[in-house]
Amino acid sequence: MTRHPTPPGRRNNEGATPSPQLPPAAIEAAAIEKDYGDAPALHPLTLRIEHGQTVALLGHNGSGKTTFIRMAAGLLDPTDGTVTIDGHAPSSIEARTLTSYLADTPVFYDDLSVWEHLEYVARMHGLSDWEQQAADLLDHLGLYARAEELPQRFSRGLRQKAAIAIAFIRPFELLLVDEPFVGLDAAGKEALLALFDQAAADGATVVVATHELSFVNRVQRIVALRDGHLIHDGPPANTDIDALVRTDAVG
């Protein structure tokens, strides 16, 4: 008996018409949830962030921003659902190779100088000609004269600048950042914005949790959370930023 192919548009034996498979996204969250025990921090969230997008993640304190960023960085496991980085588990070697993560509270080695931190991270990622890039980063951030000092002893703003340099010394295709402008002076904010712009121009995906309007106004996409729920996803044009971060707004 001759078997004929299924005509176009006709359902297959499983009752569904096959559809083209989308390529892996920079970040793909499928119904991810996070429950810390006493209350849910993130309700089922489905979100796809494409390669090369620049995204501002908005929401008041406790909205779920840090939880989402940390799950994408592979530092937290979802209670339910899945998240992938270019098709890989966030904690995998493949995802960690692609991802640079800048936390809201930087952590440093007690006995390493700023320069030694940069050398350690650069060499860990296989860079052999890292010195000039490190010098340029420190100069750009106004830290060159402090390169031999211990960042553990710095003020909040200087610690943040050191953490920024460490995040940018390594190669990455995805940059995850949580509240990076806290403690920075005006010059530091401008320096960081320039680094974000350069990363985006180089084709990286940049996702930043922040309320800093000077960054929000230059992104391609705004994603907003409130009490663990997704309340907004769209371009910044005609978006009421204040309404998205107010704690008394109904959403």
DSSP string of 163-204? HHHHHHHS--SEEEEESTTTT--HHHHHHHHHHHHHHHHTT-
pLDDT the model gives residue 222? 96
10 inside domain: no
What domain count does the chain have? 1
**DSSP for 59-93, written as a single string:** --TTSSHHHHHHHHTTSS--SEEEEEBTTB-TTSH
Structural domain for 41, as ranges: 27-243
pLDDT the model gives residue 214? 87
pLDDT the model gives residue 245? 74
SS3 content of the chain, % helix, strand, coil (to 5): 30, 25, 45
112 inside domain: yes
pLDDT the model gives residue 241? 81
76 inside domain: yes
Q: Is the pLDDT of residue 240 over 70?
A: yes
Beta bridge partners of 242: none
Give residue 152's pLDDT band: very low, low, confident or very high (50, 70, 90): very high
Instruction: Indicate the average pLDDT of the chain.
Output: 90
**pTM listed for this prediction:** 0.89
Q: Is the pLDDT of residue 126 over 80?
A: yes
CATH number of domain containing 203: 3.40.50.300
pLDDT the model gives residue 20? 65
Number of neighbouring beta carbons within 10 Å of residue 179: 21
163 inside domain: yes
pLDDT tens digit sequence for 159-172: 999 999 999 999 99
- List all residues 6 or more positions away from 167 whose beta carbon is below 8 Å from its beta carbon: 100, 101, 102, 175, 177
- Three-class SS of residue 100? strand
pLDDT the model gives residue 3? 40
Q: Compute the radius of gyration of the chain from its Cα atoms.
A: 21
178 inside domain: yes
18 inside domain: no
Q: Is the pLDDT of residue 117 over 80?
A: yes
pLDDT the model gives residue 17? 52
119 inside domain: yes
Q: Is the pLDDT of residue 234 over 90?
A: yes
Give residue 137's pLDDT band: very low, low, confident or very high (50, 70, 90): very high
pLDDT tens digit sequence for 193-225: 999 999 999 999 999 999 888 899 899 999 999
Question: Which is higher by pLDDT, 31 or 16?
Answer: 31
pLDDT tens digit sequence for 60-94: 888 999 999 999 999 999 999 999 999 999 999 99
Give residue 158's pLDDT band: very low, low, confident or very high (50, 70, 90): very high
Q: How far apart are CA 61 and CA 49, in angstroms?
A: 22
pLDDT tens digit sequence for 39-64: 889 999 999 999 999 999 999 888 99
- Three-class SS of residue 141? coil
94 inside domain: yes
Q: Is the pLDDT of residue 11 over 70?
A: no
What burial letters (b/e) apply to 214-233, b meaning 16+ CB within 10 Å? ebbeebebbbbbbbbbbbbe
- Three-class SS of residue 21? coil
